[in-house]
Amino acid sequence: MIKVFVPRDAAALSVGADEVAAAIAKEAKSRNLDIQIVRNGSRGMLYLEPLVEVEMPGGRVAYGPVAPSDVTSLFDAKFYEGKAHALSHGPTEEIPYFKNQERLTFARCGITDPLSIEDYRAHGGYVGLSKALHMKPIDIVTEVTNSGLRGRGGAGFPTGIKWKTVHDLPGAEKYVVCNADEGDSGTFADRMLMEGDPFCLIEGMTIAAVAGGATRGYIYVRSEYPHAVHVLREAIEIARKANWLGDNIQGTKYAFDLFVRMGAGAYICGEETSMLESIEGKRGIVRYKPPIPAIEGLFGKPSIINNVMSFAAVPIIMTEGGEFYKNYGVGRSRGTLAFQIAGNIKQGGLVEKAFGVTTRQLIEDWGGGTATGRPVRAVQVGGPLGAYIPESKFDVPMDYEEFAKVDAMVGHGGLVVFDDTVDMAKQARFAMEFCAIESCGKCTPCRIGSTRGVEVIDRIIDDVDRSKNLALLQDLCVTMADGSLCAMGGLTPFPVMSALRGFPEDFHKPSPNKFLADAAE
Amino acid sequence: MAKKAAKSNGSSTAPATAATPSEVAALAVCARHGNKPDELLEIFHELQHQLGYVPEATLPVISKALNRSRAEVYGVLTFYHEFRRHPAGKHVVKICRAEACQSMGTDALCDHAERSLRTKLGGTTSDGAVTIEQVFCLGNCALSPAIMVGEKLYGKVDPKRFDEIIGSLEKEAAE
């Protein structure tokens, strides 16, 4: 029997993976070929999606991007024997885009059937948890601390310290909460992992539960990710049946159960305290800190709260040891980060790489430049609240501290590339507009400041008292950065100020509304 | 309506009773979620899935079933962009307006959508077939611009592909 892989990842589906799979099944039937189609996760080479792979004795061979209309010619060329075709890329794992990565968290993604727990175990799954179940909880915490893992959601807070806080607190009611509200533009790593290797996240959260003494966990997934929600719910059910969740996990004293909660289109719910409110069935209004959520988190109880990528890094850390993980990376940024190359890019996709790689390497070596073929002008790193960096900073290594030195942030490693047609004043305006739309409204600098920000930038664009308004904008940014309750208002000035600093010429163009400028004089 | 609402918001501990079909549906959904107040978002999702929107008229019975004030329940409904208080078109088309899609021309795509469907973002076509909405990020940022129709995601959507997708919806509706 021939095994053919067609991803079920939402990105692959968005460019016709289902239609391709159906066409392959139909063609195989009409040619009387015994072909089994496995719906795997994505390999992360999204520019090649739908990427069809055939299992050969020497490893898988890749074809992509495949359209349903290519299927007949693929069969004519005997792709099912790994033969050459115009869309052939040879062995998948020899494609430089893939080969030059360091896949730790995403080691299984695209290789296994996401909903096969047997597949998961055959590829090293549940080794970490099996170890953890027979360790002292504090030793698990120590292992995670030693790995140097820092919160992958963007803030980069050491994961081990959070876990230790919860571990040290008394009480029987504790929670593990996964923040899967991946709302930042330019990011899709969480989604890819949840859809492509859900057991990895479930295992990581279970390890956290054992370490922290929690018995109940929640995964808060945004409603824009229906595929991820379906896969997770199914995977949790499978894990329960196989006794990897529930009471007396694998015959031990540990009990842990997991539930998926779906968000409802509120960006702010990616902020952890707002997310907690939302899981409790309330408006996603940010909470004051302290108390920190590790101490008084979900339902007021101690809670380990991490991002999908942080939890998903834990199984490999437990399997291979903290030292192994720590050996990747630079400075105080240890391990790997799943960089996401997005936007105006020729070869967009996911690149898991140790910290230290540069923006230039990612967008040139992997990304191959812009999709439009025009020069790259700006790259926004770390989501809508991350800085726009100009070409002069493309060689700064991806490292939390190095990026902070140039007033930028690595965040979750999402890169949105813009070509030279971008208008940075417009992008700065959008940052404020987005904040105005998504602010929870609790604190004044964010709620009002963002709306005033849009107005001030409009006046700058329209050349109405431009120099005064530029000064006012900077002043407003300082107020928002220093006075906001959470990162939403606190970091919105980041993209705005970075646009002002890196691309000042865009704020000094002739007004598109000439009469407004004239009227102001 | 106001009278009825005031009545059902009273301090009586009698179980919530339903009169209209949407109230019946709301109570059934609440019951399926064990009338747990922390499952309010899930309840709204399910109700919206069933009815196409969350009628405000269901809020009194929901608040009673979950033992939360009507103000709280209303507050939750109105906080989240995803929940609708009015019926939408037959198909809801979400167009991503976030940065990655901006870099690949989503502004032009939005203009095109508004012009070709003769309605603004947030509006519904006059025949009630399509509602277009803005959304910020569908997680398909390497294949921008992205749109979502129902639960189906589309990548690399230029105006031409947009028309094809809308055309296929209309065809589907005609069949």
CATH number at residue A513: 1.20.1440.230
Residue A65's domain is classified under what CATH number? 3.40.30.10
Closest CA to A61 of A43, A45, A76, A83: A83
Interface probe for B, chosen from A8, A192, A224 (most Cβ of B below 10 Å), is A224
DSSP state of A249: G
CATH 3.40.30.10 boundaries in chain B = 91-174
Other Cβ atoms within 10 Å of A331 Cβ, number: 13
Q: pLDDT digits over A71-90, tens only? A: 999 999 999 999 999 999 99
Q: Which two tokens stand for residue A273?
A: 């305290």
Please judge whether B38 and A418 are an interchain contact, meaning their C-beta atoms are less than 8 angstroms apart. Answer: no
A343 and A466 part of one domain? no
- The answer to whether the beta carbons of residues A380 and A305 sit under 8 Å apart is no
Taking the CA of residue A280 and the nearest CA in chain B, the distance in Å comes to 4
Helical residues (DSSP H) of chain B, grouped into ranges: 2-8, 21-32, 40-51, 59-66, 70-79, 99-102, 106-117, 159-174
Strand partners, B135: B96
A177 and A207 part of one domain? yes
Residue A404's domain is classified under what CATH number? 3.10.20.600
Q: Which CATH number fits domain B21-87: 1.10.10.1590, 3.90.1640.10, 1.10.10.10, 3.40.50.880?
A: 1.10.10.1590
Q: Which of B99, B103, B143 sits opposite A46 (nearest CB)?
A: B143
A436 and A415 part of one domain? no
Q: Which two tokens stand for residue A286?
A: 């940010």
**Which positions 200-229 of A are in contact with B (Cβ < 8 Å)?**
223-227
Spatial separation of the C-alpha atoms in residues A191 and A229, rounded to whole Å = 9
* pLDDT value for B1: 40
Q: What size, in residues, is chain B?
A: 175
Closest CA to A39 of A113, A92, A107: A113
Please judge whether A417 and B135 are an interchain contact, meaning their C-beta atoms are less than 8 angstroms apart. Answer: no
* pLDDT value for A514: 72
Residue A238's domain is classified under what CATH number? 3.40.50.11540
Q: Considering only alpha carbons, which residue of chain B is nearest residue A378?
A: B103
For the entire predicted model, the pTM comes to 0.95
Backbone angles phi, psi at B52, to 5 degrees: 90, -15
A311 and A340 part of one domain? no
In terms of pLDDT, which residue wins out, A92 or B8? Answer: A92
User: Could you tell me the pLDDT band of residue B3, with boundaries at 50, 70 and 90?
Assistant: very low
Taking the Cβ of residue B164 and every Cβ of chain A, the question of whether any pair is shorter than 8 Å is answered with no
Closest CA to B45 of A233, A285, A306: A233
What ipTM was predicted for this assembly? Answer: 0.95
CATH 1.10.10.1590 boundaries in chain B = 21-87
User: Could you tell me the pLDDT band of residue B13, with boundaries at 50, 70 and 90?
Assistant: low
Please judge whether A227 and B151 are an interchain contact, meaning their C-beta atoms are less than 8 angstroms apart. Answer: yes
A216 lies in some domain = yes
A343 and A271 part of one domain? no
Taking the Cβ of residue A432 and every Cβ of chain B, the question of whether any pair is shorter than 8 Å is answered with no
* pLDDT value for B2: 42
Domain termination site, one of A99, A133, A158? A99
Q: How much is the average pLDDT of B125-143?
A: 96
Q: What is the mean pLDDT of chain B?
A: 91
Q: For chain A of 521 residues, list the mean pLDDT of each consecutive stretch of 10.
A: 96 98 97 97 98 96 97 97 96 97 97 97 98 98 97 92 97 96 96 98 98 98 97 98 98 98 96 98 96 97 98 98 97 96 98 97 97 97 95 96 94 96 97 97 97 97 95 98 96 97 96 74 61
Taking the Cβ of residue B34 and every Cβ of chain A, the question of whether any pair is shorter than 8 Å is answered with no
* pLDDT value for B8: 43
In chain A, how many domains are there?
A: 4
Q: Which of B40, B99, B136 sits opposite A416 (nearest CB)?
A: B99
A147 and A291 part of one domain? yes
* pLDDT value for B7: 43
A207 lies in some domain = yes
A110 lies in some domain = no
Q: Which residues of B touch A187 (CB under 8 A)?
A: 137, 139, 141
What strands lie across the sheet with A414-419, from one edge to the other?
A: A349-354, A336-343, A414-419, A376-381, A388-390
* pLDDT value for A517: 64
Domain range for A466 is: 424-520
A107 lies in some domain = no
A317 and A192 part of one domain? yes
Taking the Cβ of residue B163 and every Cβ of chain A, the question of whether any pair is shorter than 8 Å is answered with no
**Amino acid letter, residue B79:** F
Other Cβ atoms within 10 Å of A174 Cβ, number: 23
Q: Which of B103, B139, B146 sits opposite A182 (nearest CB)?
A: B139
* pLDDT value for A354: 97
DSSP state of A55: E
A106 lies in some domain = no
Q: pLDDT digits over B69-107, tens only? A: 999 999 999 999 999 999 999 999 999 999 999 999 999
- The answer to whether the beta carbons of residues A431 and A383 sit under 8 Å apart is no
Please judge whether A224 and B45 are an interchain contact, meaning their C-beta atoms are less than 8 angstroms apart. Answer: no
A51 and A90 part of one domain? yes
Q: Considering only alpha carbons, which residue of chain A is nearest residue B152?
A: A14
A112 lies in some domain = no
Taking the Cβ of residue B42 and every Cβ of chain A, the question of whether any pair is shorter than 8 Å is answered with yes
Spatial separation of the C-alpha atoms in residues A201 and B66, rounded to whole Å = 32
Taking the Cβ of residue A9 and every Cβ of chain B, the question of whether any pair is shorter than 8 Å is answered with no
**Amino acid letter, residue B102:** Q
What would the CATH number be for the domain defined by B91-174?
3.40.30.10
A196 and A321 part of one domain? yes
- What percent of chain B stands above pLDDT 70? 90
A391 and A498 part of one domain? no
A189 and A81 part of one domain? no
- DSSP for A431-470? HHHHHHHH--SSSHHHHHHHHHHHHHHHHHHTTSSHHHHH
A283 and A134 part of one domain? yes
Please judge whether B143 and A187 are an interchain contact, meaning their C-beta atoms are less than 8 angstroms apart. Answer: no
**Amino acid letter, residue B111:** D
- The answer to whether the beta carbons of residues A136 and A345 sit under 8 Å apart is no
**Which positions 10-29 of A are in contact with B (Cβ < 8 Å)?**
10-11, 13-15
Checking if the pLDDT of B10 tops 90, the result is no
Spatial separation of the C-alpha atoms in residues A21 and A25, rounded to whole Å = 6
* pLDDT value for A155: 85
Please judge whether A227 and B153 are an interchain contact, meaning their C-beta atoms are less than 8 angstroms apart. Answer: yes
